[in-house]
Amino acid sequence: MFDYQRAFIQFALEHRILRFGEFILKSGRRSPYFFNAGRFATGQSLIQVGRYYAQAIIGSRIDFDMLFGPAYKGIPLACATAIALAEHHGRDVPYAFDRKETKTHGEGGKVIGAPLHGRILMIDDVISAGTSVRESVALIAASRASLAGVVIALDRQERGEGAVAATAELEANHSVPVAAIITLDTLIEYLLEQGGRSAELAAMQAYRAAYGASC
Ligand code: OMP
């Protein structure tokens, strides 16, 4: 685990972005933990999360021309990441996001921000079974731009449509890399390292055994 990943988990726990308990996921799976990116809800937490995404992007070495944040949770994340890339990594890249409903008046259309062009790096929150990200990827596929990769805060390393991980399916189906600030494995490693949360750790391990991908 890198120092920035440990710091990110601590930051997510402190802000109750990451919580342990019982949660029903979009896939219907019952999970002992939940990561709520909607709680990056202050100026300071957006500054921080943008820096973590930027670090994950630089570490991933993915080549890209612009950022795209899918509605809704990807929007502030892409925005914060664009700021961090410009401020800390000397990369002033364009960014765009979509709206859920197509607008027929004013500027019209579905995409707001920079026109989609070149290689798009998608910024999203979490991948579990991969349903949300598949929808956003379809939007890029329908444009003239190409998808360079996907960067998320948390890869839950769960099975997608088949036995392999949703992220592995995405990589195979679209020939693009998927990078994450942290994964379920990172979280389990953190709990093992910290000690003292044995009930949460056991629940996470049981969840991984039930829904984790075969690779
Ligand atoms: P999939 O579409 O199954 O990959 O689920 C990912 C989406 O579920 C995310 O974009 C979130 O909207 C939501 N989600 C979280 O926000 N945090 C979690 O820890 C888990 C989920 C989830 O429902 O799986």
Helix, strand, coil percentages, rounded to 5, for the chain:
45, 30, 30
Q: How far is CA 123 from CA 67, 104, 120, 147, 180, in A?
A: 7, 26, 9, 11, 10
Please identify which of the residues 15, 89, 103, 110 carries the catalytic annotation. Answer: 103
Q: Is the pLDDT of residue 7 over 80?
A: yes
Q: What percent of the chain has pLDDT above 90?
A: 76
Mean pLDDT throughout 40-44?
94
Mean pLDDT throughout 207-213?
91
Is 83 labelled a binding residue?
A: no
110 is known as an active-site residue:
no
162 band by pLDDT with thresholds 50, 70 and 90? confident
Q: What is the ipTM, given to two decimal places?
A: 0.97
105 is known as an active-site residue:
yes
Mean pLDDT throughout 167-186?
93
Is 71 labelled a binding residue?
A: no
- Residue 78 in tokens: 């892409």
CATH fold of the domain at 3-211: Rossmann fold (3.40.50)
Please identify which of the residues 88, 89, 105, 117 carries the catalytic annotation. Answer: 105
Is 104 labelled a binding residue?
A: no
Q: Is 93 helix (H, G, I), strand (E, B) or coil?
A: coil
Q: How far is CA 90 from CA 59, 86, 121, 124, in A?
A: 15, 5, 17, 22
C-alpha of residue 134 to centroid of ligand 1, in Å: 12
Identify each DSSP E strand in 62-139 by its residue range.
66-69, 95-103, 109-113, 119-127
Closest residue CA from atom 5 of ligand 1? 128
Q: Which residues touch 176 (CB under 8 Å, ≥6 apart)?
A: 147, 148, 149, 150, 170
User: Ligand 1 pocket: which of 16, 23, 26 to mutate (most atoms <8 Å of CB)?
Assistant: 26
Per mean pLDDT, which range of 17-21, 67-71, 163-167 is the poorest?
163-167
So where are the chain's domains? Answer: 3-211
Give the pLDDT score at 103: 67
Q: Is the pLDDT of residue 215 over 70?
A: no
